[in-house]
Amino acid sequence: EPEVTQTPSHQVTQMGQEVILRCVPISNHLYFYWYRQILGQKVEFLVSFYNNEISEKSEIFDDQFSVERPDGSNFTLKIRSTKLEDSAMYFCASGPGGVNEQYFGPGTRLTVT
Amino acid sequence: ELKVEQNPLFLSMQEGKNYTIYCNYSTTSDRLYWYRQDPGKSLESLFVLLSNGAVKQEGRLMASLDTKARLSTLHITAAVHDLSATYFCAVDIDNDMRFGAGTRLTVKP
């Protein structure tokens, strides 16, 4: 069964450094999403992406965040200058769109020291 | 701003008992989703509810949606230990998915 994959599974970085989190969505899906979950807390929407552009973003998704679909398969989240409070699990999701559910990847645990 | 509230946040149940988790949301939507998350794992889709009065059942779980009351319920029947997890409801408004805080369910023998 097709699934969303994410790399790396765990990323440790120093404050102020740039990180890129990678995702490979399910191949025939058209909508892509990033969420984050601070340990033990709820899942927070960051951004949705469709047709090579951002369709919605939350208040969390400020100028230090960017997303890109550099080729036909990858979907990336870049954090330009990481802060301690960016430490969280980042989930990528994809979906066919419309009313269908989203399928979540296994997540990347980002630790900022 | 869309707000999604779940209660209870923590639920400890005995095996064999029934209980209901509630999900209230603040803005009109007819797209509500329930997900399950095991500790340290990703989110697994349980139910997609798309219309007023929708009811879906899978095993010991049953979900319903009342769009007029802006309320969804997840009912657990005769709980078993394997149901221990965190359950999230989520509401979709134009591709902006907002999650509730989650209900951490523990089922004790």
Residue A12, CB-side half-sphere exposure with 13 Å CA sphere = 1
- % residues pLDDT > 70 (chain A): 100
Interface test with B, best of A10, A33, A45, A53 (most B CBs within 10 A): A45
Which residue type, as a one-letter code, is found at position A110? L
* Residues A11-70 pLDDT 10s: 999 999 999 999 999 998 999 999 999 988 889 999 999 988 999 899 999 999 999 998
Question: What value does the mean pLDDT of chain B take?
Answer: 93
Interface test with A, best of B46, B67, B96 (most A CBs within 10 A): B96
For chain B, the structural domain boundaries read 4-108
Confidence at residue B53, expressed as pLDDT on a 0 to 100 scale: 87
Residue A4 has φ and ψ, to the nearest 5°, of: -85, 135
Residue A45: both structure tokens together: 């929407």
Q: Residues of B at the A interface (Cβ-Cβ below 8 Å)?
A: 31, 33, 35, 41-45, 48, 50, 88, 90, 94-102
* Shortest Cα distance, chain B CAs vs residue A70, angstroms: 22
Angle, alpha carbons B74-B75-B78 (nearest 5°): 145
Neighbours of A67 (CB within 10 A): 22
Asked if residue B75 lies in contact with residue B61, where contact means CB atoms within 8 angstroms, the answer is yes
Confidence at residue A72, expressed as pLDDT on a 0 to 100 scale: 77
* Residues B29-74 pLDDT 10s: 878 999 999 998 999 999 999 888 889 999 999 999 999 999 999 9
Tell me the β-bridge partners of A109.
A10, A89
Q: Where are the beta strands (DSSP E) in A1-113?
A: 5-7, 10-13, 19-24, 31-37, 43-50, 53-57, 65-68, 75-79, 88-95, 103-104, 108-112
Distance CA A95, CA B76 (A): 27
- For residue A84, the SS3 value is helix
Residue B66 DSSP symbol: E
Neighbours of B109 (CB within 10 A): 7
Across the interface, whether the CB atoms of A56 and B94 are under 8 A apart is answered yes
From chain B, pick out residues whose CB is under 8 angstroms from the CB of A44.
Answer: 99
From chain A, pick out residues whose CB is under 8 angstroms from the CB of B101.
Answer: 41-42
Confidence at residue B47, expressed as pLDDT on a 0 to 100 scale: 95
Of A6, A19, A38, nearest to A103 by C-alpha is A6
- What is the DSSP track for B23-56? EEESS--S-EEEEEE-TTS-EEEEEEE-STT-EE
Q: What distance separates the 2 farthest-apart alpha carbons in chain B?
A: 42
Domains in chain A, CATH or no CATH each: 5-112 (2.60.40.10)
Of A44, A45, A60, A50, nearest to A98 by C-alpha is A50
- For residue B83, the SS3 value is helix
From chain A, pick out residues whose CB is under 8 angstroms from the CB of B43.
Answer: 43, 91, 104
Please compute the mean of the pLDDT values over residues B86-94 and round it to a whole number: 90
Residue B10, CB-side half-sphere exposure with 13 Å CA sphere = 2
Residue A92: pLDDT band (50, 70, 90) is: very high
Across the interface, whether the CB atoms of A105 and B42 are under 8 A apart is answered yes
* Shortest Cα distance, chain A CAs vs residue B89, angstroms: 10
**Domain spanning B4-108: which CATH class is it, in words?**
mainly beta
What is the separation, in whole angstroms, between the first and last Cα of chain B? 41
Please compute the mean of the pLDDT values over residues B6-18 and round it to a whole number: 95
Confidence at residue A79, expressed as pLDDT on a 0 to 100 scale: 97
Distance CA A55, CA A32 (A): 10
